[in-house]
Amino acid sequence: MKVLLLGYGNVGKAFVELLRENQLNVKVVGAFKRGGLVAPLGGEEKAVEIEKGLEQLSPDVLVDVSSPNYVNGEPSVSAYLEAFKRGIHVITANKAPLALKFGEILDEARKRKASLGFQATVMSGVPSVNLRRVLPALKVYELRGILNGTTNYILSKMHDGLSFDQALKEAQEQGFAEPDPTLDVNGFDSAAKLTILANVYFGCRKSIKDVRFSGIEHIDFSEVGRWRNEGLKPKLVAKASRSELRVSVEALTRNDPLYHVDGVTNGLLIRTDIQDIFISGPGAGPKRAAYGILSDLLIISSGQSIEF
Amino acid sequence: MKVLLLGYGNVGKAFVELLRENQLNVKVVGAFKRGGLVAPLGGEEKAVEIEKGLEQLSPDVLVDVSSPNYVNGEPSVSAYLEAFKRGIHVITANKAPLALKFGEILDEARKRKASLGFQATVMSGVPSVNLRRVLPALKVYELRGILNGTTNYILSKMHDGLSFDQALKEAQEQGFAEPDPTLDVNGFDSAAKLTILANVYFGCRKSIKDVRFSGIEHIDFSEVGRWRNEGLKPKLVAKASRSELRVSVEALTRNDPLYHVDGVTNGLLIRTDIQDIFISGPGAGPKRAAYGILSDLLIISSGQSIEF
């Protein structure tokens, strides 16, 4: 199987390494970088358009490991549509295209009978998107998740007594927060992930514009202390029903499964007509995102049909 | 699609009801009961052998909702092998055949290119077995689970201060324990489920005879009190590595994900080279077992290949 990468940063490199470790019959034929196409990997960048690159290299799968562009999802969105036209499957770890244009992208994939894998966009390698594949026909009425490790780490530290600034500094020192943590801290990253999950579990076509979100930057130190005294813990909860998508800080009680999701761990509670299901695990890291991509690749190559 | 039932108790009835509610294009053509074959459902029992019944009704899937026979797994094991010979898929909620003869059954299914679904045998409708389908190629090194709701309910109540006898009585009154709870209480049920999960996640061919198990019947009231004072909680933990399968009571600390699995809830922690994944939900009830069967039916009918 031939894979072409869109982007070649930490996740892309971890993915190539994971393929090597698993000795899979998958060949990475090249990567689009900012400066152009590199094919084979390690060669020189050449100015080649994505359309031409797809034509010349004719991969079976386009794997998007590029950085999110939340303005319009480009160049990813156009690259996906070009890939689908040629029957090329797409697997993405990049949230932006799906948070902005889920319906357009999925409809085109279906029309062209190509597959779209995007486990890595939410909770990295922990089945959140792909859990739906083994929960067919279940009527979901609510999703509640802790989908951002950075903010959960900061809130966990604040619960332990640190100020927001101290907790953020520690998160940055530990590598759990970006130098510019804005999109994590203000709830935007959680909102993008919630959009994707809602579309998967409710079969809807929402965009991130449909999410009412707020972040953790205005959480008051003394408020957190009061909650702690009452046995409550602050969490940035991403919540979706059929009618509303929302991200906001909630003070949770001990009997809430999300209460026990601490530090950089992510967790998702799926409430359905038959049962509540809770899944949790680490939601970040290049190797875990790479595994999310690999799991999509193996599921798609086993011939499983799209379930979303 | 035509389904033939083996057994027709609470789970079988819940399954028929679930099919009706979901308006699926599935027809239940009959059921084998103790007294013989009933076809169509609601008709009279006739003395027909399983082999003949499969021949006459030629179902696409045999669904085993019969009671477990831990002596030799019959009549289920023979029925599965007869089904596979005819290319008929098998879905089972009955643990015994797989806890006793996993390898023999799976090998025959593969040889005949038939599918075998058994999500409902462990944690009912909560993806435990089927979670493996979306975790391909992951190198699992340990499974740790709370796989029996009855014992977990009793231990939770003992942690709250009840004696074993009081807790068992309460579990029976609530319908969480059988009138004869022996196979739950002595750890056997957990051992059967652990066998199945180990075979799925390690790709091995263990039988329940390979499990060292003990139960909760000899747990000391005062010991539980001492643990509580030390912040520990007793749990019947089913644990598997590649080299050892074991069920025993452990006193867990608060930072163990299984610590927070209380009452009749089940939980499973999958430790792998890339990440630890934890999943939990209700592990019992006819409707949930019926959903476990339905999820297998929909996955198999979507043409997904066996991943185990």
Q: Is A287 a catalytic residue?
A: no
Is the preceding omega at residue B136 within 30 degrees of 0, hence cis?
A: no
Give residue B306's pLDDT.
Answer: 45
Is residue B230 classed as helix, strand or coil in its secondary structure? coil
* pLDDT over 70, % of chain B: 98
Lowest mean pLDDT among A242-246, B88-92, B284-288, B301-305: B301-305
Higher pLDDT, A179 or A90: A90
* Mean pLDDT, residues B225-250 taken together: 97
Cα separation of B62 and B184, whole Å? 27
Nearest CA in chain B to A277: B281
pLDDT confidence tier of residue B303, bands split at 50, 70 and 90: confident
* pLDDT over 90, % of chain B: 94
What are the beta bridge partners of residue A45?
A: A38
pLDDT by residue (tens digit) across B20-67?
Answer: 999 999 999 999 998 899 999 999 999 999 999 999 999 999 999 999
Domain boundaries, chain B: 2-124+286-302, 134-282
Cα separation of B221 and B226, whole Å? 9
The answer to whether A134 contacts B135, with C-beta atoms less than 8 Å apart, is no
Contact present, B123 and B266 (Cβ < 8 Å): yes
Q: Assess whether pLDDT exceeds 60 at residue A274.
A: yes
Give residue A236's pLDDT.
Answer: 98
Return mean pLDDT, chain A. 95
Which strand (E) or helix (H) includes residue A130?
none
Give residue A262's pLDDT.
Answer: 96
Q: Do domains A2-124+286-302 and A134-282 have the same CATH topology?
A: no
**Distance from the B283 Cα atom to the nearest Cα atom in chain A, whole angstroms:** 9
Contact present, A181 and A172 (Cβ < 8 Å): yes
Q: Assess whether pLDDT exceeds 70 at residue B82.
A: yes
Which residue out of B193, B233, B239, B287 is catalytically annotated?
A: B193
Q: To which residue do tokens 């979100």 refer?
A: A213
Give residue B166's pLDDT.
Answer: 95
pLDDT by residue (tens digit) across B111-157?
Answer: 999 999 999 999 999 999 999 999 999 999 999 999 999 999 999 99
- How big is the A-B interface in CB pairs under 8 Å? 114
Return mean pLDDT, chain B. 95
Q: Assess whether pLDDT exceeds 80 at residue A36.
A: yes
Q: Assess whether pLDDT exceeds 60 at residue B259.
A: yes
The answer, for B251 touching chain A at a CB cutoff of 8 Å, is: no
* Mean pLDDT, residues B63-73 taken together: 97
Which of A130, A134, A282 shows the shortest C-beta gap to B275? A282
pLDDT confidence tier of residue A116, bands split at 50, 70 and 90: very high
pLDDT confidence tier of residue A108, bands split at 50, 70 and 90: very high
CA distance to A193, A238, B33, B39, per residue, from B123 (Å)? 28, 27, 25, 30
The answer, for B36 touching chain A at a CB cutoff of 8 Å, is: no
pLDDT by residue (tens digit) across A191-246?
Answer: 999 999 999 999 999 999 999 999 999 998 899 999 999 999 999 999 999 999 99
Token pair in block for residue A63 = 């794997």
* Mean pLDDT, residues A287-302 taken together: 95
Strand B89-92 with B116-117, pairing: parallel
> A2-124+286-302, superfamily in CATH?
NAD(P)-binding Rossmann-like Domain (3.40.50.720)
Which of A274, A276, A281 shows the shortest C-beta gap to B276? A281
Q: Tell whether residue A11 is among the known ligand binding residues.
A: yes
The answer, for A275 touching chain B at a CB cutoff of 8 Å, is: yes
For the sheet containing A61-64, what is the strand order? A45-46, A36-38, A27-33, A2-6, A61-64, A89-92, A116-117
Cα separation of B17 and B23, whole Å? 10
Q: Assess whether pLDDT exceeds 70 at residue A304.
A: no
Query: What pTM did the predictor assign?
Result: 0.96
Is residue A79 classed as helix, strand or coil in its secondary structure? helix
* Mean pLDDT, residues A70-96 taken together: 97
- Asked casually if ipTM beats, i.e. exceeds, 0.85, the reply is yes
pLDDT confidence tier of residue A160, bands split at 50, 70 and 90: very high
Optimal mutation site among A119, A138, A270, A278, interface B, most CBs of chain B within 10 A: A278
- Domain B134-282: top CATH class: alpha beta
Optimal mutation site among A113, A275, A305, interface B, most CBs of chain B within 10 A: A275
Higher pLDDT, B124 or B303: B124
Q: Assess whether pLDDT exceeds 90 at residue A302.
A: no
Identity (one letter) of the amino acid at A85? K
